[in-house]
Amino acid sequence: MKIKPLQIIAHIILIIGVLLMVVPIWISFASSSHDSVTILTEGMKFHIGDQLARNYNEVLNEKGGWSEEVTAAKMFINSFIMALGIATLKVVISAMSAYALVYYRFKLAVPIFWLIFITLLVPLEVRIFPSYKIVSDLGLTNSYTGLILPLVASATATFFFRQFYKTIPDELLESAKLDGANAWSFFIDFLVPLSKTMIAAMFIFMFVYGYSQYLWPLIMTTAEEYWTVVMGMKIIYTESYEGVALPRTAERFAYIILSMIPPVLVVVFLQKWFIKGLIQTEK
């Protein structure tokens, strides 16, 4: 097989892209296997050192925070629960509200849709005080519900689901109706399977969105048992050593590598559906 010059150029561009993505991760990983002192004195590393097991063990099991009770493992779990809750509820609520907007032809459907759309202009950071007030009045501070609930409405996902449902021909609904489907079974038997690639994609985006939340958990949680990964990144390896010892750079790298695992797992797990949907169109 002859390789054309164009192909070579394309491959070079792709390889550069891959390197741009992978190299920083590799540096973090390599650096996480050295001593903090080595990194501080010699800079970041490209090769694996001998402190791998020790650093990771330390990160996962060491108790940190003011109370010396919260571990990184606990924070991963917290973040995972929060992200899972946000992603699941966002997808479910958006899919259902889009269903209502598209299929129940009430007069206010369009204004309501635009109202939902406008909320894109007021992200959580803008409405953080009222949100905090409401959540705290409900007594939901320091709870998973409190972490998740204010973030579950999504204009973006509603928009995408709405656009998708609009492309589904009316005859499909009509023929399902004649086959005895009711509103609920049409949603479950038709819209959900037809939009499963869309659901997978939305779930991935929303999971990463939930996982990388910083400001909201920071304000919401006073009890350390609800701390999340991104908060920990800032907090956990500074306080206890403030001014006294060297910054624990190697452990931070280990922490970063570990913190990537949950979203990567979600992507890997859902990728199968996602790709399948991209290559075999079913409409």
With contact defined as beta carbons under 8 Å apart, do 83 and 214 qualify? no
Among 69, 125, 179, 239, binds other proteins (CB under 8 A): 179
Nearer to other proteins, 137 or 282 (CB): 282
- Tell the smallest beta-carbon distance from residue 282 to other proteins (Å): 5
User: Is 172 an interacting residue with respect to other proteins (CB under 8 A)?
Assistant: yes
- Compare residues 2 and 283 and give the one whose CB is closer to other proteins: 283
* The two three-digit tokens of residue 217, written as one number: 């958990």
Q: Which lies closer to other proteins via its Cβ, residue 117 or residue 190?
A: 190
If one asks whether residue 181 binds other proteins (CB under 8 A), the answer comes out as yes
Q: Which of 194, 219, 260, 267 binds other proteins (CB under 8 A)?
A: 194
- Secondary structure (H, E, C), the chain: CCCCHHHHHHHHHHHHHHHHHHHHHHHHHHHCCCCHHHHHHHCCCCCCCCCHHHHHHHHHHCEECCCCCEEHHHHHHHHHHHHHHHHHHHHHHHHHHHHHHHHCCCCCHHHHHHHHHHHHHCCCCCCHHHHHHHHHHCCCCCCHHHHHHHHCCCHHHHHHHHHHHHHCCHHHHHHHHHCCCCHHHHHHHHHHHHCHHHHHHHHHHHHHHHHCCCHHHHHHCCCHHHCCHHHHHHHCCCHHHCCCCCCCHHHHHHHHHHHHHHHHHHHHHHHHHHHHHHHCCCC
Residue whose CB is less far from other proteins, 242 or 282: 282
Residue number, 153 or 194, with CB nearest to other proteins:
194
Q: Among 1, 50, 104, 182, which residue interacts with other proteins (rule: CB under 8 A)? A: 182
Number of amino acids touching other proteins (CB under 8 A): 20
169 binds other proteins (CB under 8 A): yes
Q: How far is the CB of 205 from other proteins (least distance, A)?
A: 23
Phi and psi, residue 70, nearest 5°: -90, 135
Query: Which region among 59-67, 95-103, 172-180, 223-231 touches other proteins (by CB under 8 A)?
Result: 172-180
Q: Pattern of binders to other proteins over 195-234, x per CB under 8 A? A: ----------------------------------------
Which of 133, 177, 272, 276 contacts other proteins by CB under 8 A? 177
Asked if 109 interacts with other proteins (CB under 8 A), we say no
Q: Does 108 bind other proteins (CB under 8 A)?
A: no
* 276: contact with other proteins by CB under 8 A: no
Asked if residue 266 lies in contact with residue 204, where contact means CB atoms within 8 angstroms, the answer is yes
Contacts with other proteins, residue ranges (CB under 8 A): 169, 171-172, 174-182, 185, 189-190, 193-194, 281-283
